[in-house]
Amino acid sequence: MFVGENPIHIEANADIAEVVLMPGDPLRAKYIAENFLEDAKLVTSIRNMFGYTGYYKDTKVTVMGSGMGMPSAGIYVFELIHYFHVKKILRIGTCGAVSKEALIGEIILASEVYSESNFAYTYNGYDKHVVKSSESLNKAIMDVANVKNLRLHVGMMTTMDVFGPYVDCDKILGRIPKEYTILGEEMEAFGLVHVANSNNCEATAMATVVDSKFSDVVLTPEMREKNLNDMILLGLEAIIK
């Protein structure tokens, strides 16, 4: 494996904290930095993938975009761990609900993630289709959610190589082994967790439900912002524990 002396996709001299919140959208990283962190500074912007470092309740935190899909997320997760020695990574994203249990606007926390992708096999020969999130990080999230009285669905998510609403999602879900109960689908969590697990870093993923195969509800911009803010604060409180 070729690994250069310096990262390719993150500024080599970037000031990166040991704990990272990772939204997919770099502009959401900017939003979080400007609205939730103190003394936040832009520390990397290669390819317009923004990373900011600041403080939340006196704890140094980095918020870094991952882009869309496992290949993009995997690059940033690896560089954060290998070059900057990050200890915890928490994905905060959006997803589509594929279970009636999770309603639009609610949060899903991945205890495990399933994917039929060959991402993990290509990465390092891992031939299973399920990865487990960090139990300690998940416990911290559940404890904070309980204190804040936030409804949190904990269970398995699935990561797909395609954007769910644009394909026959039911056909894909139908191929998943029946013993797995999937709560939501998205595009990054499996890759993020697998790369972190393979490099001794704690990682998990949670996502706010923004669409559902069981509902025609469309969140207004105001509702979307409020629900995403709940998840952001949940993530920040948990990752500094």
Catalytic residue among 15, 39, 168, 211: 211
If you write DSSP's letter for every residue of 12-64 in order, what string do you get? TT----SEEEE-S-HHHHHHHHHHH-EEEEEEE-GGG--EEEEEETTEEEEEE
Active site residue 211: yes
Strands 38-44 vs 51-56: parallel, antiparallel or unpaired: antiparallel
CA–CA distance, 169 with 55 (Å, rounded to integer): 40
Sign of the dihedral defined by the CA atoms of residues 209, 210, 215, 217, in that order? positive
DSSP state of 165: G
Q: Which active-site residues does the annotation give?
A: 211
